[in-house]
Structure 1
Amino acid sequence: MKIKAPITPCLWFDGQAEEAAKFYISIFEGSKITNISYYPEAGREQHGHDAGDVMTVMFELGGQQFMGLNGGPHFKFSEAISLCIMCENQEEIDYFWDALTADGGMEVECGWLKDKFGLSWQVMPANIAELIGGDKERSSRVMQVVMSSKKLNIAAMENA
């Protein structure tokens, strides 16, 4: 059976889902919060939240729907999953890099960063597959640039 169902990533937060959604929509043009739900009194023994606390925040970034869940301190983000931003030019790379590392975010390496909530992002040139694919010698040179970088530099990668 084929069923067309959209995939909506759910991001687990410890009470910061609304703050995170507002942060993300301030960075990505045309983005918005689409719904906020609140914990009810019912089920408090299981969920452990006060009635009226924000439970979920539905939001869109670049046309992709996300759900932020205030699930508590039980789980943290890890590098096992990251969100990739495919940038058309260096200006876009610089913009997203600076915005996502602001206010406590952290540069990692090879185009990866963590935002102030601990979520991992990859800020990449849109032509990354072309740059690291095909010719093995060129691919090796490009990968040397990538591996020695934090924020990626498109010109350095294209000139490798």
Structure 2
Amino acid sequence: MTIARNTICLWYDNDAEGAARFYAETFPDSAVQSILRAPTDFPSGKAGDVLTVQFTVLGIPCLGLNGGPAFRQSEAFSFQIATKDQAETDRYWNAIVGNGGQESACGWCKDRWGLSWQITPQTLTEALAAGGGEAARAFAAMMEMTRIDVARIDAARRG
């Protein structure tokens, strides 16, 4: 087993394995590497319960920790996924929201485990980086959206 030197640790109530498998099925360059199970019974679980899951999301090393209900995910941490077009934006958005997740504003959504995702078409990032009127128009259009509409962003960029 290879352990990455720097790993993002994500706290789950009790389904780190399910989350990791969902991410591996949904995103390219994503996989479940290993599952560590409790060797004996412990105060909040039994021998064989999943303790941690090593996985990658788009090449980013992560560790899913089944820490229980003490802590919840928040928007203070999110994965930002840069998408190339509307089809890719829709594919990821629909996978997350359609699998027990929920929509939020401006391209943000949450998966069923409460983890936040920003599904961000590259055209939006490019518009904001351009500055001036182009950025202002794209930003105003984005502020009215849940899932980002690439055609509307592109139209806003043009004025």
Paired residues of 1:17 and 1:57 also in contact (CA < 8 A): yes
Task: Mark the CA change 1:6 to 1:157 in structure 2 (over 3 Å): closer, same or farther.
Answer: farther
Q: CA deviation at 1:6?
A: 4.2
Q: CA deviation at 1:86?
A: 0.3
- Is 1:67 equivalent to 2:81 in the alignment? no
SS at match of 1:133: helix
How many angstroms apart in 1 are the aligned matches of 2:139 and 2:29?
Answer: 33
How many angstroms apart in 1 are the aligned matches of 2:5 and 2:151?
Answer: 36
For 2:16, the equivalent position in structure 1 comes to 17
Runs of 4+ deviating beyond 4 Å: none
For 2:120, the equivalent position in structure 1 comes to 124
The worse-fitting range, judged by mean Cα deviation, of 21-30 and 97-106 is 21-30
For 2:88, the equivalent position in structure 1 comes to 92
Stretches of structure 2 lacking an aligned partner (at least 5 in a row): none
For 1:141, the equivalent position in structure 2 comes to 137
How many angstroms apart in 2 are the aligned matches of 1:49 and 1:61?
Answer: 27
For 1:77, the equivalent position in structure 2 comes to 73
Correspondent of 1:113 among 96, 109, 113:
109
How many angstroms apart in 1 are the aligned matches of 2:29 and 2:65?
Answer: 22
Instruction: Name the TM-score, length of structure 1 as normaliser.
Output: 0.89
Q: Deviations over 1:12-54 (max 9, x none)?
A: 1111011111111111134221100012327x35xx3222100
Letter in 1 for 2:87: E
Q: CA deviation at 1:128?
A: 3.2
RMSD between aligned residues: 1.6
Stretches of structure 1 lacking an aligned partner (at least 5 in a row): none
Paired residues of 2:30 and 2:56 also in contact (CA < 8 A): yes
How many angstroms apart in 1 are the aligned matches of 2:35 and 2:150?
Answer: 38
Q: Deviations over 1:92-151 (max 9, x none)?
A: 000000001123210101000011111100000124332112332221111111100000
For 1:150, the equivalent position in structure 2 comes to 146
Instruction: Name the TM-score, length of structure 2 as normaliser.
Output: 0.89
Count of aligned residue pairs for this structure pair: 153
Paired residues of 1:102 and 1:116 also in contact (CA < 8 A): no
SS at match of 1:124: strand
